[in-house]
Amino acid sequence: MSTFLLEISYLIGSITFIIGLKQLSSPDSARKGNLVAAAGMGIAILATILFHQKDGQPIGNIPWIIAAMGVGTVIGWMMAMKVKMTAMPQMVSFFNGMGGACAAIISIVEFNAHPHGSSGYLLTVFLGLVIGSVSFSGSMIAYGKLDEKIKDIYASFLTYLNLLLLILIFVILGIAVWQPDMFGHSVVWILLGLSLIYGILFVMPIGGADMPVVISLLNSLTGMAAAFGGFLYDNPVMLTGGILVGSAGTILTVLMCTAMNRSLLNVIIGSFGGGGAAGAKGATGDQTVKEISLTDTAILCAYAGKVVIVPGYGLAVAQAQHICHELEKKLEEKGVEVSFAIHPVAGRMPGHMNVLLAEADVPYPKLVEMEDANPTMNNTDVVIIVGANDVVNPAAENDPSSPIYGMPVLKVWEAKNVIVMKRSMRAGYAGIENELFFHPKTKMLFGDAKDMLGKLVSEVKDL
C-alpha cells in the first residue's frame, strides 16, 4: 500500500511540475504556477518521508531531515522577501548554484556508498558531480559579476585553458568509469576540483551583455544534474523536475542566442560585452546631444497618438516600475495609446523586464516583444527609453566594428521622437557608447528615472 501511495504522490508531483511550468509562461498566471509546482514538490517530499522504503526499512534520520528543511525554508524565505528587484538576477544565480551544489553532494555521497557500482551507475554519478560542480562555481561567479563584486577577466589563453580542462575532465571521467581501480576513491575529489575550477574559468571571461544567456545556460546545467540524481535514486519526480528545468533552460538559452544573433559557442568564447568600445558616430556624424525639459516632454507625450516605453536595467535600479505604470495610466486617460517594448535580453536575466513590470501590475498584453514592436516603430509618435542602452543602440545595425554588430535591437530611431531618460552619458552594460544619443530624433532627459517619471506624471496631470 505504501508503495502505491508513493507512486501516486510522485505522479501528482510530476503533473504539478508540468502545469506549473506552463503557467510560468505568462505573468498573469506565473504566481499561481509557482504555488502549484511548490505544492507538488511538498507532496513528493512528504510522501518520500512517509512511504519510501529501502530493503523493507523506512527512511531514517527524520529529525535531521526536518531540521535541514526548516533551516533551508527560513533562509530561503528571508532572502526572497528581502531581495530587491535590482538584485533578483543575483538571487536567481545564487539559488541556481545551490541546486548544482546539492546535485554534486548527492553524487559524492552515492560514490562513497557504492564505489564499485556498474559502469552505468558510475557514469551517472560522475556526470552529476561534474555538471553540478560546474553549475555551482559558475553560478557563484555569475552572482559576483552581477553584483559587481567580480570583474571580467579577458585573456585569449583562457579559451584554450578551458578547452584543455574540459578535455581533461572527460578523459579522467572515462577512465574512472571503465577502469575504476586506477584512481580509486580519489577520483571523486579530482573531478570535483577540476570541475569547480572549470566553472570559475568558464564564466570569468564572459562579458556583461551575455550574462542573461549564461544564467539560462547554468540553469539548464543544474536541471541536468538534478535529473542524474533522479536516475541514481530511481525517483521519477526528481527525474521529471530535472528534465523540465534542463530542457526549459536549454530552449531558453537557444532563444536568447537567437535574439542576439549569435551562436552559443560565440557567447561562451567571445567575451562579448566587456571592454570593447565602438565610437558613436551618430546618424549624420554629428555628436551633439540635445536635451529636453520636463514640460516639453509632457506636452509631447500628452498630445501624441502612440507612445512606446522601452524599459531597461536602469528602471530596476531606480525602482521606477510603479511610477512608470502611473505614467502609462495618465497618458491613456488623455487618449494616448501606450505600450512597452521588451527586448529579450534587457536587464540582467531572462524575462527581467517582464517580471519587473508585472510586479507593478502592468497588463500583460501591453508588454510587446521586440519582433512585434519593431514593425510599429514608424507609426509611433514618441518612444521613451527608461534605463535601456545596448538594446536600442543603432551600432548593432550600422557599425561592423561594434561588439554588438548583428545583435537584433529595438529600432526606436524609426519613431518620430525619441526621449532617453538617463542619469548621465555613461556607456551601457556592454561597455560601448550609444549612437542613439546623438541621433537627430533623440532628446535626452537627464536625472534619476523614478524622480523624473514622478515629475513627468505631475506635468501630464496639469495639462
Q: Active-site residues: which are they?
A: 390
CA-based R_g, the chain, Å: 25
- Alpha-carbon separation of residue 131 from 91, 99, 145, 195 (angstroms): 20, 11, 21, 8
Neighbours of 247 (CB within 10 A): 15
Q: Answer whether 215's CB lies under 8 Å from 142's CB.
A: yes
Sequence-ordered list of residues with C-beta below 8 angstroms from that of 47, at least 6 positions apart, any chain? 5, 6, 9, 10, 13
Grid coordinates belonging to 355: 517580471
Q: Answer whether 356's CB lies under 8 Å from 315's CB.
A: yes
Sequence-ordered list of residues with C-beta below 8 angstroms from that of 192, at least 6 positions apart, any chain? 104, 108, 129, 133
Angle between helices 236-259 and 27-51 (to 10 degrees): 150
